[in-house]
Amino acid sequence: MSPSLNRQSTTEAASKPKGARKKPAVQLLIIAASTGGPLALQKLLPKLKAGVGFPILVVQHMPKDFTRDFAERLNRLSRIEVREAENGDRLKPGVALLAPGGKQMELDDSQTIRIRGTLHQEIYKPSADITFASVANRFRGRVLAVVMTGMGVDGRFGVKLLKSKGAQVWVQDARSSVIYGMPKAIVEAGLADEILDLDDMSERFREM
């Protein structure tokens, strides 16, 4: 088994994108992405098998009125069901809910989705930090968080909360990221369990 990333320098971690090939016991998969994310998600989500035994939440930085069409495209490409999240949706195995553009997606209780408007101080709409933090506070099962290509540090705060509750965290590596901002923030904070290029991550999704 490869050494823990906590015992590696950032440089060493970045040079070793392949982590231990241990399959996570997943009860909820949550994914965050920004720039470059639409293409990456179109490669990843179709790898999940029909009838996969856990629900999926996806936060992709995208403007209002674009996410519904994007969810429909992902649904056509995938073997799982993918759709834009609506207020009151319930977590369901084999269903991926995409956060609506211009709004925030939170877990209102252990199984119910709340869609709300954004507050003035909230930069990202939707925000990975907000979704991740709500999962950390309300979901009691085993969580796998995946942070992919994108600018900025959205997701770092939420991942820190998730890690404190025992979540596993994968990040996309620098080479395969369009912009290595969001994943880099996780790595530099010492929060990444595995650093994977997009091809390896796709294969891991297929194995799940």
Residue 96 falls inside a structural domain: yes
Q: Does residue 120 have an active-site annotation? A: no
Residue 12 falls inside a structural domain: no
Residue 29 falls inside a structural domain: no
Residue 169 falls inside a structural domain: yes
Range of the domain at 71: 34-207
Residue 25 falls inside a structural domain: no
Q: Does residue 176 have an active-site annotation? A: no
CATH number at residue 150: 3.40.50.180
Q: For the chain, how are helix, strand and coil distributed in percent, rounded to 5?
A: 30, 20, 45
Selecting among 154, 173, 193, 200, the annotated active-site residue is 154
Tens digit of pLDDT per residue, the chain (208 long)? 444 444 343 444 444 444 445 555 899 999 999 999 999 999 999 999 998 999 999 999 999 999 999 999 999 999 999 999 999 999 999 999 999 999 999 999 989 999 999 999 999 999 999 999 999 999 999 999 999 999 999 999 999 999 999 999 999 999 999 999 999 999 999 999 999 999 999 999 999 8
Residue 159 falls inside a structural domain: yes
Residue 135 falls inside a structural domain: yes
Selecting among 61, 176, 177, 202, the annotated active-site residue is 61
How many domains would you assign to the chain?
A: 1
Length of the chain: 208
Q: Does residue 154 have an active-site annotation? A: yes
- pTM for the model stands at 0.88
Residue 179 falls inside a structural domain: yes
